[in-house]
Amino acid sequence: MTLFTYCRLFNLLKVKGTKASVFQNVTEITHGTCYYVHLKRCRGSVDNKGLQDRQKRQMVRGLPKQKPITGVKQVIVVASGKGGVGKSTTAVNLALGLMAIDQSKSVGLLDADVYGPSIPKLMNLKGHPELSDDNRMIPLINYGVPCMSVGFLVEDASPIVWRGLMVMSAIERLLRQVEWGSLDYLVVDMPPGTGDVQLSITQNIPIAGAVIVSTPQDVALLDARRGAEMFKKVNVPVLGLVQNMSVFQCPNCHHQTHIFGSNGARELAETIRVRFLGDIPLHINIREMSDKGQPIVISSPDSSEAEAYRKVASAVIRSLDELNMI
């Protein structure tokens, strides 16, 4: 581990306030290509599992007090039960779609996928955040969207091999130590699944609602359902389901194929009584533009794919408006 990465990780773990006392000693242990940071608690060793279990129990009982992120009006989390279904691509294009349909709105993007941060690549951003006068990280901006990601804090090729407590500290820092300014929406790209990170985020901040992304494939739908149930359990409203990669149209003969199935997410939305937010086709332009860091909503705003993302953004706003009326 280079000295640079080490310092970055160390800074990342410096949590202000009471939790700072948890970290008395951070020691680097190198095992071949894997790096571990060994944490010692003031009294005895850290019982990660115990701590996490306690957090989960507190969560379920609704004990911890959620604190809003300074300057942010509404937090929208984008989640998926399963990895690789297009959650980050949807989060990016949703954020840009929200801005496209109402340019008076300010939108930020937070990459909470600490194990596999992809927002820097998708938003074509590189570099490290500067610090404000009060030591908060200033987001990097592209396409008018301020972004923050753990990817800005570690070197590109560094393996992100973290123990549970380190992940929680990183998340806390990303939630509390970023100078967002004033935002109407903060779109959060969650890690896939229904684990500690997801619980920790729902525990720490008030969330306006969750958008669940799934392909129409049975195995993805099963996990999407689990994701939706988790949010309901912790009282986060589910704004709806996005069906990604629903149809592939051959660019030559225009024949349409439902590679992952056709209507699974739509049917699941009906079953679990949440809004169906829209269909995003499986399209090479979406993948190619994403890889270039030029999201389709920005690079081909007139395409039907960009329109599909804007429709999803409109549906999300409808869900939020309905919730705000309650």
Instruction: Give the binding site for ligand ATP (CB under 6 A).
Output: 80, 83-89, 113, 116, 118, 192, 244-245, 280, 282-283, 286-287, 290
CB of 253 to ligand ATP, least distance (A): 19
In one letter, which amino acid is 232?
A: K
If the CB atoms of residues 22 and 247 are measured against ligand ATP, the closer one turns out to be 247
Provide the pairing of β-strand 25-31 with 256-257. unpaired
CB of 54 to ligand ATP, least distance (A): 28
CA separation for the pair 114, 166 (Å, rounded)? 10
If the CB atoms of residues 5 and 249 are measured against ligand ATP, the closer one turns out to be 249
CB of 72 to ligand ATP, least distance (A): 22
If the CB atoms of residues 169 and 290 are measured against ligand ATP, the closer one turns out to be 290
If the CB atoms of residues 177 and 244 are measured against ligand ATP, the closer one turns out to be 244
Q: Residues 284, 251: contact at Cβ < 8 Å? A: yes
Q: List C-alpha distances in Å: 8 to 14, 158, 254, 281.
A: 10, 12, 49, 39
Q: Residues 68, 62: contact at Cβ < 8 Å? A: no
Q: Residues 236, 202: contact at Cβ < 8 Å? A: yes
CB of 198 to ligand ATP, least distance (A): 13
Tokens 């949440």 correspond to what residue?
Answer: 274
CB of 264 to ligand ATP, least distance (A): 15
If the CB atoms of residues 126 and 287 are measured against ligand ATP, the closer one turns out to be 287
- Name the percent of the chain in helix, strand, coil, to the closest 5: 40, 20, 35
